[in-house]
Amino acid sequence: MKMIKTKEEVISTIINEQNILIVQDLDGVCIPLVQDPMKREINKEYVKNVAKLKESFSVLTCGEHEGRRGVNRLVEKALGSKTYTKENGFYLPGLAACGVEFQDRFSNLSFPGLNDNEINFLAKVPNIMESMLNTELNIFLPTISNSLRKKLIEVAICDTRFTPTLNFNEIFSYVKRDLTKVKDLQLIMQKIMNNLLDESKKVGLENSFYLHMMPNLGLLEGREIMKYATQNEFGTTDIQFIINGAKKEAGLLLLLNKYISNKTGVYPFGEKFNVREAPKKLNALIKLCRDKITSDQMPLLIGVGDTVTSAKDEKSKSWMRGGSDRGFLTLIQRLGESYKKENQVIFVNSSNDQVIRPKIHGSDMTGISDPNDELKFNMIINDGPEEYIDWFKQLAKNF
């Protein structure tokens, strides 16, 4: 098992390399988790420190850059001016929507791998969600007022452009942690999203989308496994409607493709490479890198995430492992082993009083990892985004 490093040791490992790429999730890492996504905030000094790293930093998130719910709005609010943010290149560069919305530091956007029919259908999804959720809550919570039901629906539906999402944190809180009701609501959330998949098939997009559950317990027959509520946590709180192929581990290759092209002028996977062209299996992703990227071109990779899960199936006695950050963090670890580089995997404890998740306590990683888990963390940020931002500030001083 890898030894957990101190924050100073990880910084030393990073700054001793000339060729580095930090790949970082957003919500729960540098943005505290909240029940209402519209109330998220980002730290002003963190944003300015990201800019110091220039091409050595990329985000990799299932959230989005643009739109009223996009992280770009949080950055502009933190800095107090859209013009100032754009002129100085303070937007967070990298890949959003789990792999299909790319932007640079100046918010120049591209959408690798998407077609117009998919974009048009996605634009209709929030309205379909609203109608379905209204019907379900009328049945499930028949005694609440119309105004309260409307408010719960408004918070629950994240009308993002490429990843329309149901987020039930606020609704879960309304039922006051009644486990039975929370589980029933999780099934309602899943039912609505499965119905959306059926709607997409009716317009000829049967292979275009999948459901991404946060957090989840891995895959079963190609579908993500819902993590049901327990006494200690809500389990799956969000389900995203996402483009097929938009997986963070595939997104990591797209980021590498762009990073290396900026350094060398050559795209190792081709100029038009996108997540839909990437292999589906971890070993195949590693092989593609080995075939196309030489050791001197491959940067030292630092992966930062907060959504990793592990739970034992009592029937089969096997471990079910998932979480939206698990794939790309594992790939970073495996690429380090393959290229003999000291790649770093950093885990941030994101659980707080608004969004309850498993939390690492010393050597106790219950709910996140297990003794047989392939994924090992080099560093653990115990106290959430605030501590991570402090650490990042120390790192940025060296750039």
Mean pLDDT of the 249-253 span: 97
User: What pLDDT was estimated at residue 1?
Assistant: 43
Pairing assessment for the beta strands 101-103 and 94-96 based on DSSP bridges = antiparallel
- The ranges assigned to domains in the chain are 7-59+247-396, 116-161+164-243
Mean pLDDT of the 362-388 span: 95
310-335 pLDDT, tens digit each: 999 888 889 999 999 999 999 999 99
User: What pLDDT was estimated at residue 2?
Assistant: 59
What is the overall mean pLDDT for the chain?
95
257-311 pLDDT, tens digit each: 999 999 999 999 999 999 999 999 999 999 999 999 999 999 999 999 999 999 9
19-64 pLDDT, tens digit each: 999 999 999 999 999 988 889 999 999 999 999 999 999 999 999 9
197-218 pLDDT, tens digit each: 999 999 999 999 999 999 999 9
- Per-position b or e across 152-189, b if 16+ CB within 10 A of its CB: bbebbbbbbbbbbbbbbbbbbebbeeeeebbbebbebb
**For residue 74, is pLDDT > 90?**
yes
User: What pLDDT was estimated at residue 356?
Assistant: 87
166-189 pLDDT, tens digit each: 999 999 989 877 899 999 999 999
CA dist., res. 246 & res. 255, Å (int): 13
Q: Quickly tell me which residue has 């609704």 as its tokens.
A: 171
**pLDDT band for position 133 (cuts 50, 70, 90):** very high
Q: What SS3 state is found at 40?
A: coil
**For residue 253, is pLDDT > 70?**
yes
The pTM of the full predicted model, rounded to 2 decimals, is 0.87
Contact call for residues 107 and 65 (beta carbons, < 8 A): yes
